[in-house]
Chain A
Amino acid sequence: MSQGLVDDVAAGAVLGPEPAGFGGVPGKRRGVGRFLLRRPGLVASVAVVVLVVLAAFWPDLFTSQDPLRGTPEQLFQAPGGAHWFGTDELGRDVFTRVVHGAQLSLQATLIALAVAFVAGGLLGLVAGFAGRWVEDVLMRFVDVLLSIPALFLSLALVTALGYGTVKVAIAVGIASIAGFARVMRAEVLRARQAVFVEAARSCGVRWYSVLLRHVLPNAIGPVVVLATVEIGTAILAVSSLSFLGYGAPPPAPEWGTLISDGRNYLANAWWLTALPGLTIAVTVLATNRIARALDGEWARQR
């Protein structure tokens, strides 16, 4: 997995100017239009992500077939008008399965991100705000987490927790805590030195108010951007684990599981692996593109 490097690159880039908010004043809105017009790839990426989210919440918008029940007369039909992604060994429509699989995969990705964001964010927040030995201990812990390859840590957690989409998601989330903790700590350290924090302190504001009302809101932005950067990594990690067979059990159409099912028919039905894999690749590419736009490109442009 590549999140180690991505984290570092993101951590570096994230520390730059904070991404400006979208919308607001009319002039700004025109800026958004021009910004997007010059980047057709970004527009396409947003469209892809919207489609995936729609598929996850309302799969019936895209298909009316049953993802689990097949028609025995239509085994191994190649992709075509009736079945966009073809049919599998039980005559199930692969496109329907991919659409319904979006829900499981998106759910797993969001759980993984939430775990990493909350746990990593808290670690970083406490480390950055408490300082001294607390910071030393917590950040050493984070260094150790970084030194275990993410997939191996996830695999160890899967061994301990067991199989299933949610457990795999938690394992992936825990394995990517370190990056979030690092960025959060760096941002808290930066915010803590700001003049307004000193002013609040000198006015006698309690430490928890300083933390929640002044430090946290000013530190959280880059961590949110990191979360968008990590979406792609999380999708890939979850799909790898479910490809290895630790995700949802077979009838469920999770994306990684679909590919590992189709693997047995690689010689005679290429679409069973090729098209679900392409869906993962396009989704990850789209989220990475959006993350890059949020991660400074927008701010630099202005």
Chain B
Amino acid sequence: MRRYVIRRIAQAVGVLWAAYTISFLVLDFLPGDPVSAMAGAGSDSGPVDPAQLARLRHEYGFDKPVILQYLDYLGRAVRGDFGDSISTGRPVTATLAEALPQTLALAGAALLLAVVFGGGLAVLATYTTHRWLRQLLLSLPPLGVSVPTFWIGLMLVELFSFRVRLFPAFGGDGVRGLVLPAVALAVPTGAIVAQVLAKSLLTALDEAYVETAKAKGAGRARIHLRHALRNASLPALTVVGLLAGQLMANSVVIETVFSRDGLGRVTAGAVTVQDIPLVQGVVVFGSLVFVVVNLVVDLVYPLLDPRIVMASGRRVVVA
């Protein structure tokens, strides 16, 4: 077990390093001179003073060979220093840390809604004996993943802020301001939860232990919730990492729609002014979340499912 944990952590660190390297290659290496972008950022003044360019180049180390630049940046990134934002001049790490709580609140609320309603839909669709109800419920998730998230947000604003003045349209702090963006953000995530859970519930209901429970006289509801759901929710856990990535990505769009402060808004703003250090910080942070969530899921999984044991660093199901 211990060796497995160490190995998984080492893998996670490796993935993070590679993600950093890819973002470095993409942002600092591709065509387009970052220095003139930086000098031009924030001001629309015409041609940039060459002396200023040279100074910036020296300041950011662009006059050094690429490999030295890379090692230099990597060394600083390991210590949590992603440089300073070009548009605001504040450290990238501080900017992200400041924006994070807002986005966490939004994503957390959305995840809660998604699990409750998506999960509820899956349970109801597999439980009901009415064919039409099952078909109706199962047709909703494909709809949920087909609709643009930003459009759902705008339609909610149109309906519940302008038509019926229930919730504030834009900005808005507190719980009331959180409702509409959280609902919009929850739709695609809930659709995926529903699809995955419905599929694994159907698989679980075919298992032999369901027959056994039936033979022992357990009622349908008890079989469904106590036996099938408990077993079916384990495979559903494996998509949590994907959902975290999805929530983060969609928050970029949703926070723009609702003009909410947060990580997504910072990201959109950074791309608009070509704030390269900030964009890089966001990309690395995104993969950090993905990697950490997956690591936690992998480490918690064997605790939840005792049939899984570690053998030579791989998860093996003991029949």
List the interface of chain A (C-beta within 8 A of B).
Answer: 1-2, 4-6, 8-9, 140-141, 143-145, 147-153, 155-162, 232, 236, 239-240, 243-246, 256, 259, 263, 266-267, 270, 273-274, 277, 280-281, 284-285, 288-289, 292
Contacts and interface: CB of A to CB of B under 8 A. Distances in A.
Interface string B270-281: 111010100110
B302 to A, nearest CB: 21
A162 B18 CA distance: 24
Contacts of A277: 147-148, 151, 154-155
B151 A156 contact: no
Contact of B15 (A143, A259, A284): A143
Contact of B246 (A4, A156, A280): A4
B102 interface: no
B232 to A, nearest CB: 16
A226 to B, nearest CB: 16
Contact of A147 (B196, B246, B282, B291): B291
A161 B279 CA distance: 13
A267 B249 contact: no
Contact of B148 (A152, A266, A281): A281
B253 A288 contact: no
Given A240-B148, A273-B151, A245 B272 contact: yes
Given A5-B196, A153-B283, A285-B146, 18 more contacts: A1-B249, A2-B145, A2-B242, A2-B246, A143-B15, A144-B15, A147-B15, A148-B23, A148-B287, A151-B249, A152-B286, A152-B287, A156-B279, A156-B283, A158-B271, A266-B158, A266-B162, A288-B145
Contact of B26 (A9, A157, A239): A157
A4 B248 CA distance: 13
Contacts of B287: 144, 147-149, 152
Closest 3 CB pairs of A and B: A277-B151, A151-B249, A149-B245
B6 interface: no
Nearest to A151: B249
Nearest to A152: B286
A282 B268 CA distance: 27
Interface of B: 15, 18-19, 22-23, 26-27, 30-32, 142-143, 145-151, 154-155, 157-158, 162, 169, 188, 191-192, 195-196, 239, 242, 245-246, 248-250, 252-253, 256-257, 267-268, 270-272, 274, 276, 279-280, 282-283, 286-287, 290-291
B149 A240 contact: yes
B27 A152 contact: no
A145 B142 CA distance: 26
A160 B274 CA distance: 8
Contacts of A9: 195
A149 B290 contact: yes
A246 B273 CA distance: 11
B146 A281 contact: yes
A143 B290 CA distance: 12
Best-surrounded residue of A1, A156, A263 (most CB of chain B within 10 A): A156
